[in-house]
C-alpha cells in the first residue's frame, strides 16, 4: 500500500492542465502516493446541481490531503440558467465549492507564500520573501448575509446600536447586510500559525494587517489576539498596520516584510497584491490547512480562455505541490522541488507566455522534472 492517499481534484479549465503538470513532477520525485480522483466543479453543478457532490467529501474523508486545480464560479442567476432542464426551477443555489470545502472541513488557515525567485522577469523586486496567513473560515466570508434584510434583524440593530438609526428610513428590500463575524478562537489561531511559521523558518517580524481604528470590534479583536500570541514569541517582533496603508507599503517597501497575518477579506486582498509582486497568478501557491486535513491549490482560477491549451504557467501549481510536501513532512522532497523550480526560473530557457516565452505548461513541468 502506498504511504499516502491524495485526493486528486483537477476541477475546471486550466485546473486540468496544471494538475497534469503536477503529476509529471510528483512522478519524478517518486512520492509514494496513491492519487484518488474526486469530482468537483462546474460540470457537476450543471448536471447534478452540486459542484461538490457528497461522494467527493466521502473520498476526502479517506485521504491524507487533497490537491486541487481550479474551479469556475458564476453569479447566482447565471449559474441557475446553466443547470440541465430537469434541475431548473427547483430553487438550487450555487455556492463556491472551495469556500464550502474550507468551511466544512474547517481548513482555518490559508497559507500563501510570495517569494521572488531570482531570474523571474516578472519580479517587482528580487528581494521579496513574504508569507501571508489569511484566516479562512470567518469574517465577511462567513456567509451570514441578508437581502432583503429581515425586519427582526434590522430591529435588533436598532435596539443594540444607535448607529443603525441613520438607516431607519431605508426600505428593508433596498439594503443588504453581510455580517463580519470574527471569533477569538480563529483570530488567535491565525496569529499563532503566523508566529509558529516565523519561528520555524526564521522570519523576524509578523505584521497584523487590520483596521482597528475604524472597524473597532472585529479588527480590534484580531489585533488584541495577535498581541496576546506575540507574547509567547519574544524573538519575533509584532508590527501592526492598517489594510489601506499596508497596500501602499507593500508597493513601496515589500522587502521589509516577512510574515503577514490577516482576517479573511483583508488577507484575500493582500495575498493577491503580494502574488503580483513576485510574478502574478502563475507563481501564487496556497494551502488551506486544518488541524488534520489540508487542501492545496494554486491561487489562480480556471482561466477559461486558456482551458485545455496547456499554455499557462504551472509554477503556481508546482509550488503548491511543494507546500503539500512540506505539510506531509516530506521536507527533503520539498527542498529538492523548490531548488528545481528555482533552477528552471533562474536559467530562463523554458518559459510560458506570461514570462515572455512560448513553452507549454507541460514543457515547463518537464524542465523541473529533469532537474530532479
Ligand atoms: P483566473 O485566475 O482564472 O484568470 C485570470 C487571468 O490570469 C487569466 O486569463 C490569465 O491571463 C491569468 N492566469 C491565471 N492563471 C495563470 C497561470 N497559471 N499562468 C499564467 N497566467 C495565468 O481568474 P478569472 O478569469 O477572474 O476567473 C476565471 C474563473 O475562475 C471564474 O469562474 C472564477 O470564478 C474562477 N476562480 C476560481 C478560483 C479557484 O478555483 N480557487 C480562484 C479565482 C477565480
Ligand atoms: Mg482572491
Q: What is the pLDDT of residues 232-263, one digit of tens each?
A: 999 999 999 999 999 999 999 999 999 999 99
- Distance (Å, whole) CA 262 – CA 78: 32
> Which one of the ligands is nearest to 272 CA?
2
- Tens digit of pLDDT at every position of the chain (372 positions): 899 999 999 999 999 999 999 999 999 999 999 999 999 999 999 999 999 999 999 999 999 999 999 999 998 889 999 999 999 989 999 988 998 998 899 999 999 999 999 999 999 999 999 999 999 999 999 889 999 999 999 999 999 999 999 999 999 999 999 999 999 999 999 999 999 999 998 999 999 999 999 999 999 999 999 999 999 999 999 999 999 999 999 999 999 999 999 999 999 999 999 999 999 999 999 999 999 999 999 999 999 999 999 999 999 999 999 999 999 999 999 999 999 999 999 999 999 999 999 999 999 999 999 999
Distances from the Cα of 79 to the Cαs of 49, 69, 158, in angstroms? 10, 20, 35
Which residue lies with its CA nearest to atom 8 of ligand 1?
A: 303
Burial of 297: CB neighbours in 10 Å, binned 0-12, 13-18, 19+: buried
Rounded to the nearest integer, the mean pLDDT of the chain is 96
What is the pLDDT at residue 99? Answer: 85
What is the bridge-based pairing of β-strands 237-242 and 205-210?
parallel
Ligand (nearest to CA of 305): 1
Phi, psi of 246 (to 5 degrees): -60, -40
Name which residue sits closest to atom 32 of ligand 1, judged by CA. 72
Q: How many C-beta neighbours within 10 Å does residue 118 have?
A: 10
Could you tell me if the CB of 136 is within 6 A of ligand 1? no
> What pLDDT is stored for residue 157 in this prediction?
97
Q: Is 356 in the pocket of ligand 1 (CB under 6 A)?
A: no
Question: DSSP label at 150?
Answer: P
Pairing type for strands 259-262 and 294-298 reads: unpaired
- How many C-beta atoms lie closer than 10 Å to residue 174's C-beta? 10
Distance 269 CA to ligand 2 centre (A): 6
Read off the pTM: 0.91
What pLDDT shows up at residue 75? 87
CA of 299 to the centre of ligand 2 (A): 7
Q: Is the CB of 281 under 6 A from ligand 1?
A: yes
341-359, pLDDT tens digit by residue? 999 999 999 999 999 999 9
- Of the CA atoms within 13 Å of residue 216, those in its CB half-sphere come to 0
Of 300, 292, 284, 307, the residue nearest 98 (C-alpha): 300
Does residue 264 line the site of ligand 1, with CB under 6 A? no
Q: Which atom of ligand 1 is nearest to the CA of 72?
A: 32
Q: What are the DSSP calls for 243-264, one per residue?
A: HHHHHHHHHH-GGG--EEEE-H
Q: Are 333 and 134 in contact (CB under 8 A)?
A: no
How distant, in Å, are the alpha carbons of 20, 100, 266, 304 from that of 15?
9, 18, 25, 10
> Which residue's CA lies nearest to atom 5 of ligand 1?
303
The 8-class DSSP code of residue 233 comes to -
Closest protein CA for atom 6 of ligand 1 = 303
**DSSP classification of residue 175:** -
Kindly state the cell numbers that stand for 107.
481548513
Ligand 1 atom nearest to CA at 18: 18
Residue 142 confidence (pLDDT):
87
Atom number, ligand 1, closest to the C-alpha of residue 70: 40
Closest CA to 267 of 187, 366, 328: 187
Instruction: In whole angstroms, give the CA distance from residue 65 to residue 316.
Output: 18
* Cβ 268 vs Cβ 96: under 8 Å: no
Which residue, judged by its Cα, is nearest atom 25 of ligand 1?
A: 303
CB 82 within 8 Å of CB 255? no
Check if 270 has its Cβ closer than 6 Å to any atom of ligand 1: no
Instruction: Give the largest CA-CA distance in the chain.
Output: 67
> Residues in the chain, how many?
372
- Nearest in space to 294 (alpha carbons), one of 68, 114, 82, 83: 68
Separation of alpha carbons 219 and 227, rounded Å? 12
Determine whether the shortest distance from the Cβ of 271 to ligand 1 is under 6 A: no
Ordered domains of the chain (ranges, CATH): 1-108+291-372 (3.40.718.10), 124-141+181-277 (3.40.50.2300), 145-178 (no CATH)
Q: Give the model's pLDDT for residue 143.
A: 87
Residues having C-beta closer than 5 Å to ion ligand 2: 268
Measure the CA–CA gap between 282 and 356, rounded to whole angstroms: 12
Task: Give pLDDT, residue 330.
Answer: 96
Cα of first residue to Cα of last residue in the chain, in angstroms, is 25
Amino acid at each position: 500500500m502506498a504511504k499516502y492517499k491524495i485526493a486528486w481534484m483537477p476541477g475546471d479549465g486550466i485546473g486540468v492542465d496544471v494538475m497534469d503538470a503536477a503529476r509529471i513532477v510528483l512522478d519524478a520525485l517518486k512520492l509514494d502516493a496513491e492519487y484518488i480522483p474526486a469530482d468537483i466543479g462546474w460540470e457537476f453543478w450543471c448536471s447534478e446541481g452540486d459542484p461538490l457532490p457528497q461522494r467527493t467529501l466521502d473520498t476526502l474523508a479517506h485521504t491524507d490531503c487533497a490537491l486541487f486545480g481550479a474551479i469556475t464560479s458564476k453569479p447566482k442567476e447565471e449559474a441557475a440558467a446553466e443547470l440541465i432542464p430537469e434541475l431548473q426551477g427547483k430553487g438550487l443555489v450555487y455556492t463556491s465549492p472551495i469556500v464550502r470545502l474550507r468551511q466544512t472541513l474547517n481548513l482555518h488557515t490559508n497559507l500563501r507564500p510570495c517569494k521572488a525567485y531570482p531570474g523571474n522577469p516578472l519580479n517587482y523586486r528580487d528581494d521579496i520573501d513574504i508569507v501571508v496567513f489569511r484566516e479562512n473560515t470567518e469574517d465577511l466570508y462567513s456567509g451570514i448575509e441578508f437581502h432583503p434584510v429581515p425586519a427582526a434583524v434590522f430591529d435588533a440593530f436598532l435596539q443594540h446600536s444607535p448607529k443603525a438609526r441613520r438607516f431607519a428610513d431605508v426600505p428593508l428590500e433596498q439594503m443588504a447586510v453581510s455580517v463580519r463575524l470574527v471569533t477569538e478562537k480563529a483570530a488567535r489561531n491565525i496569529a499563532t500559525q503566523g508566529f509558529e511559521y516565523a519561528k520555524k523558518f526564521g522570519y523576524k517580524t509578523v505584521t497584523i494587517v487590520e483596521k482597528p481604528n475604524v472597524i473597532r470590534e472585529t479588527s480590534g479583536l484580531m489585533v488584541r489576539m495577535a498581541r496576546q500570541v506575540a507574547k509567547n514569541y519574544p524573538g519575533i517582533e509584532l508590527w501592526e498596520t492598517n489594510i489601506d496603508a499596508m497596500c501602499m507599503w507593500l508597493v513601496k517597501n515589500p522587502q521589509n516584510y516577512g510574515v503577514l497575518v490577516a482576517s479573511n477579506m483583508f488577507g484575500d486582498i493582500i495575498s493577491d497584491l503580494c502574488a503580483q509582486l513576485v510574478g502574478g497568478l502563475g507563481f501564487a501557491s496556497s494551502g488551506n490547512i486544518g488541524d488534520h486535513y489540508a487542501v492545496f491549490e494554486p491561487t489562480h482560477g480556471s482561466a477559461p480562455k486558456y482551458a485545455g491549451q496547456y499554455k499557462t504557467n504551472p509554477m503556481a501549481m508546482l509550488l503548491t505541490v511543494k507546500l503539500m510536501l512540506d505539510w506531509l513532512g516530506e521536507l527533503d522532497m520539498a527542498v529538492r522541488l523548490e531548488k528545481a523550480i528555482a533552477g528552471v526560473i533562474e536559467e530562463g530557457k523554458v518559459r510560458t507566455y506570461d514570462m515572455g516565452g512560448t513553452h507549454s505548461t507541460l514543457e515547463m513541468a518537464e524542465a523541473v522534472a529533469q532537474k530532479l
